Amino acid sequence: MAYRYAAGMFILMMFTALLTACWDKTEMNELALVSMVGVDIDPDSGKKTVYYQIINPLSGTSARGTPGGEQAPVYTYEISGSSFGEIKSTIYKMLPRKLFIAHSKILLVSRRAARQGVRDIVNFIEMQPNGRSSVPMLIIDGPISQVMKTFTPLERVPSDAIDSRLKLLIRNSLLTGKHIKVNDVIERMEKSDTIVLPMIAGTTEKPSSNSGETAADIDANQNNFIIGGGAVFRDYRMVGKLNDAQLVWYHLLNGDRGRHVRRFQVEGKQVSVELRLVRMKRDVYRQSDQPVVRIRLDLELSTTWANEFVPRSRAEVERLESNLNRIIEDESLAFYQMTRERGWDLLRIRDLLRKQTPNHPYIDQAAKNAKVTIEVATRLLRTGSMNQPYEGTG
Amino acid sequence: MISRFQFYLLTINYILGTTLFVLIQRLVKQGGQDAWLMPLWAGSFGVLVGLFWILLLRYYPGRSLVQIPLDAWGRPLGTFVSVLYFLFFCILAGWILRNLSDFMNGTIMPETPKSVFHVMFLLVACYTVAQGVETVGRLNQVITPFLFFPFWLVLLLATVNWDWERLQPVFHSDLGAILQYHSFLGFPYMETIALTMLFPLVKQGAGRPFLLGVLTASVSLSMTLFMVIGLLGVERASRLTFPVYTVVQEVSIGEVIVNIHAIISVILLILIFIKLLVLVYGASETLRQVFRPKTRWPHFLALTILLSAMALSIYENPIQNGEWDEKYTFIYDSFFVLLIPFLLLVTTWIKRTFGKRIKRRMS
Amino acid sequence: MLILHILLVPLIGFPVLGLLRKKLYRDAAVFGAVSMMGYGLWVCIVNHRPFIITILIERMIETFIA
């Protein structure tokens, strides 16, 4: 009986020792919460530089009045090494807390690193158990340290600023799409597809390193960064750039649903129309033994933002719609021709052929030479608060 | 004695145990976007093999797997074969403990030594098994809703990232590659022979709940593979070590429900625990039925020492384990699961046929 | 190494002695056999030369096939 009692006590003591997770316990104030990661690769030496932007838990209204002035919302740590794995150990030469990247929101890659190839970066993120590849990846058009050391007005933590801007752009324009995350990059690159990632650039050459100054400056365009343009990736390398106008057609033809306002010239008149993709159908049919890709777009129009001209009658509406159909078909076909000339399969025709005609013997060749027809059907469904703009008397 | 429903749930959880996180990546690599068909075909094989064992066990009603060699081949040879089965169960238990500690070390708890996981799990498992098979059955029955609902809820939350195009082109993968992947037949389907140790203890017959359990687990695996391919795509799922874990890691509903992969870790831990319970029960019952010792708990202590050592000795690293799995699992499992039962069946038939003839001649 | 012996020798020794004293020879034999197997494996592990079971099975299968 005493033997069993002793054995029971021994087991309980072992439980007490072994259940405390001594080896893996971490307190919250021992963690460096990373909100944004920036990566640069030097093309000559191959040296990798990683920038970690760490959230400062002491910043905020409660910390006002602390000696030394206002606290910065984030701190950027820069560390270099010959491989990303090495940086995991050497980061602690600068960083006083344990790196915690599970909550990072944005990954920024310098343009020169993008031109060399992002495969190493992407592999490194996927390999780490804590790393999330569901974060958006943006390419920096300019020096990376400038962007990583910029404070943003209004949204104090820069990664939140970029994240909310991307969300707003995805909803309110066709300048950014949903498939800009690291896992989208992996999926597309592994299928030998292309992807377009948003680009970001700083607005000043020397951003202020004082967060208080940025917070007190009325000019929000100073000390900020702007998202614009798209970096085209193929085989993990940046092979070109799209401007904003081209990005609109790229996202429209790839099925993105943002509401984009664009000014069109219709019958000599300027009219700013909001477009929204309602349905897109892509199919492949054979015409004299050649695959033809047919893209059908159904768009919803709104004249809410058309302060120049609003159609008055049904006939005018139909004329506007048919003109816009023609203009959009022409411009999107011109965009496709441009991409074909540069050898970029931005409409993902090869992927479409692979899915719909998997038995085709020469899919790559067929994709390059495929004929593409675009059919657009627009419908005016929404108008603004005024059914006619003011015209004046003169 | 456990009920048929409890045994049915036990069969499902036993098969799903380690499969859900060790095998998903390999299956997607082998089958591509049609990998979700593989459990359906392997499950059919599992049912066939199950029928084969049920046939053997019908000739020995009320006897478990390790008692049959004693009856069929006599004490010396029967003991030797039973000891072989004991080692088989111990090796399987060591395997799953090691899978567990590899998973924990690779994801959430990288610093903790592996033996901590092994010993903690074994202590609780031995205590549970020592209480009897009813405890195992009831525990599994109570815990199954807590596994089933969170698992599928969390996977459904992840469907914001769903893309049907990841599953296309459908039915276009190499059928030969799918059918030739024999290691999937070995692990987990042939390992279900451990459940035959519980056959005599199921009220009203264990055959039907066992076969239904195999089918249900196969459908469940197929659906899980379908979800993983639809959420991650073949390219990523075939390279990530723990695709189910990554799927859940990437769930982000609003900005509030993020980083919920701890739920999946707990579900996987409990599933492994249930598989371990069955194997520890099998091993301890083998000792009890073959050697008929008078005490119970010293043998659990011995099992803890042996299994904690086996867990560290079973394979060197996950890479060697993956290679072994692909080449040798089927052959190794076939010896215990097909060859020995076949020889037992043949012996039984011969004995019965000649036994009848001798009786007829004598009368 | 020393800690392993300090831990396992009483853990195995005391039950064996207890069983022998109660004249349960079969129990002691079974317990002894199983725990000695574990003890042997542990000694190899602690010496950083673990006895890998799957490699042994692999060799057995290869010998049998050849």
Query: What is the pLDDT averaged over residues B183-189?
Result: 87
Give yes or no: residues A205 and A120 share one domain. Answer: yes
Q: Give the tens place of pLDDT for each residue, A86-111.
A: 888 889 999 999 989 888 999 999 99
- For residue A293, pLDDT over 70 is answered with yes
C38–B295 CB contact, under 8 Å:
no
- At B30 the pLDDT is 87
Three-class DSSP labels, A193-239: CEEEEEEEEECCCCCCCCHHHHHHCCCCCCCCEEEEEEEEEECCEEE
Give yes or no: residues A282 and A212 share one domain. Answer: no
- For residue C38, pLDDT over 80 is answered with yes
Q: Which is more confidently placed, A285 or B173?
A: A285
- At A207 the pLDDT is 76
The residue type of B298 is: P
A-proximal residues of B, 78-137, CB under 8 Å: 106-113, 116, 119-120, 123
Using the 3D structure, point to which of A242, A271, A286 is the last residue of a domain.
A242
Q: Mutate which of B121, B126, B127, B239 to test chain A, going by most A C-beta atoms within 10 A?
A: B239
Give chain C's domain count: 1
List the one residue out of B304, B306, B280, B284 whose CA is nearest residue B296.
B284
- Give chain B positions within 8 Å (CB) of C50: 312-313, 316
Give yes or no: residues A332 and A392 share one domain. Answer: yes
Domain B4-362, classified CATH 1.20.1740.10, yes or no: yes
- Band (pLDDT 50/70/90 cuts) for residue B176 is confident
Among A11, A21, A186, whose Cβ lies nearest the Cβ of B112?
A21
- At A126 the pLDDT is 84
Q: Whole-angstrom Cα distance, residue B200 to residue B34? A: 39
- At B49 the pLDDT is 93
Tell me how close the Cα of C37 comes to any Cα of chain B, in angstroms. 6
Q: Whole-angstrom Cα distance, residue A55 to residue A95? A: 12
Give yes or no: residues A62 and A209 share one domain. Answer: yes
- Band (pLDDT 50/70/90 cuts) for residue A66 is low
- At A64 the pLDDT is 52
Tokens matching residue B352: 């019965």
- For residue C26, pLDDT over 80 is answered with yes
- For residue B156, pLDDT over 70 is answered with yes
Residue C35 touches chain B, beta carbons under 8 Å: yes
- Give chain B positions within 8 Å (CB) of A24: 108-112
Q: Whole-angstrom Cα distance, residue A163 to residue A198? A: 12
Give yes or no: residues A276 and A141 share one domain. Answer: no
- For residue B266, pLDDT over 70 is answered with yes
Q: Give the tens place of pLDDT for each residue, B14-58.
A: 999 889 888 898 899 888 888 899 999 999 999 999 999 999 999
- Give chain A positions within 8 Å (CB) of B123: 11, 14-15
- At B83 the pLDDT is 94
Alpha helices in chain A (DSSP H): 2-18, 84-90, 111-116, 119-127, 144-148, 158-172, 182-190, 211-216, 244-253, 314-341, 349-356, 363-369
Among B91, B306, B324, whose Cβ lies nearest the Cβ of C38?
B306
Tokens matching residue B10: 């036990």
- At A22 the pLDDT is 76
- Collapsing DSSP to helix, strand or coil, A19 comes out as coil
- At B226 the pLDDT is 93
Owning domain of residue C34: 2-65
B314–C53 CB contact, under 8 Å:
yes
Q: pTM of the prediction?
A: 0.85
Give yes or no: residues A194 and A99 share one domain. Answer: yes
- At A68 the pLDDT is 52
Domain parsing of chain B, residue ranges: 4-362
- For residue A11, pLDDT over 90 is answered with no
- Give chain B positions within 8 Å (CB) of A18: 116, 119-120
- For residue A62, pLDDT over 60 is answered with no
Q: Compute the mean pLDDT over every residue in chain B, rounded to the nearest whole number.
A: 90
Give yes or no: residues A238 and A262 share one domain. Answer: no
Query: What is the pLDDT averaged over residues A253-262?
Result: 91
Residue C53 touches chain B, beta carbons under 8 Å: yes
Give yes or no: residues A233 and A261 share one domain. Answer: no
Give yes or no: residues A57 and A127 share one domain. Answer: yes
Query: What is the pLDDT averaged over residues A110-117?
Result: 93
* Inside any domain, residue A272: yes
* Inside any domain, residue A250: no
- At A194 the pLDDT is 92
Please spell the DSSP secondary structure of B143-184, one letter per residue.
HHHHHHHHHHHHHHHGGGG--GGGGPSTT-S-HHHHHT-THH
Give yes or no: residues A50 and A198 share one domain. Answer: yes
Q: Give the tens place of pLDDT for each residue, A192-209.
A: 889 999 999 988 777 777
Tell me how close the Cα of B170 comes to any Cα of chain C, in angstroms. 37
- For residue B332, pLDDT over 90 is answered with yes
Among C34, C35, C61, whose Cβ lies nearest the Cβ of B331?
C61
- Collapsing DSSP to helix, strand or coil, B95 comes out as helix
Number of H helices, E strands in chain B: 16, 2
- For residue A67, pLDDT over 60 is answered with no
- At A210 the pLDDT is 78
- Band (pLDDT 50/70/90 cuts) for residue A65 is low
- Give chain A positions within 8 Å (CB) of B120: 15, 18-19
- Are A146 and A207 in contact by the 8 Å Cβ rule? The answer is yes
* Inside any domain, residue A84: yes
Domain of A267, CATH number, reads 3.30.300.210
Among A11, A24, A355, whose Cβ lies nearest the Cβ of B165?
A355
Owning domain of residue A323: 257-394
- For residue B336, pLDDT over 60 is answered with yes
Kindly report which listed range (A81-90, B179-188, B303-312) carries the lowest average pLDDT score. Answer: B179-188
Give yes or no: residues A138 and A196 share one domain. Answer: yes
Please spell the DSSP secondary structure of A312-362, one letter per residue.
-SHHHHHHHHHHHHHHHHHHHHHHHHHHHHTT--TT-HHHHHHHH-TT-S-
Comparing alpha-carbon positions, the chain A residue that sits nearest to B103 is A129
- Give chain B positions within 8 Å (CB) of A157: none
Q: Whole-angstrom Cα distance, residue B109 to residue C56? A: 30
Q: Which is more confidently placed, A20 or B53?
A: B53
Give chain A's domain count: 2
Q: How far is CA A339 from the centre of its chain?
A: 20
Comparing alpha-carbon positions, the chain C residue that sits nearest to B321 is C54
High-pLDDT (> 90) share of chain B, %: 56
* Inside any domain, residue A217: yes
List the one residue out of A161, A277, A276, A172 whose CA is nearest residue A227.
A161
- Are A352 and A274 in contact by the 8 Å Cβ rule? The answer is no
Using the 3D structure, point to which of A214, A242, A270 is the last residue of a domain.
A242
Q: Other CB atoms closer than 10 Å to residue B206's CB: what's the count?
A: 23
